[in-house]
Amino acid sequence: MLIIDNDRVSDRDWIEARQEELEQALVDADSSARQEAYCCITQGGERVGPHHEMRDGVMILNRRAVWMAFGSLQGEINLIRRERVEALTHLRRHFQILDRVQMGE
């Protein structure tokens, strides 16, 4: 089972966040973990706006990736209205976490 820790936030550059490790961890994870890792998963299965990274075997938020995911939604034309609302609601929760949690590692 994949552990998700929303009390840890990384400020690591997204390029350095070892996205392959996250993708590998999500292969065996349940659907709720996959939904948590992305802003939304479209009806067609497209994964939009990844914003977590793996650290010590735990999925944590990446501050820079949350902002990048928000920015990418602005130009995402393939989302239907429901998916866009779902994605923005998801990110809003993460912005609240970022406000609560001190700057990470």
pTM above 0.75, yes or no: yes
Beta bridge mates, 53? 60
- Rounded distance, CA 77 to CA 66, Å? 19
What's residue 58's pLDDT?
93
CA gap 94, 27 in Å, rounded: 23
Helix (H, G, I), strand (E, B) or coil at 87: helix
Residue 72, helix vs strand vs coil: helix
Please give the Cα distance from 54 to 71 (Å, whole number): 22
97: its two tokens: 């976490």
Amino acid at 95: F
Place of tokens 């994605």: 87
Integer Cα distance of 101 and 5 in angstroms: 12
What pLDDT does 102 receive?
67
Predicted confidence at residue 54, as pLDDT, reads: 92
In the chain, where are the structural domains located? Answer: 3-100
pLDDT in tens, the chain (105 residues): 889 998 899 988 877 777 888 888 888 888 888 888 888 878 777 888 889 999 998 999 999 999 988 988 887 777 888 888 989 999 999 999 999 886 544
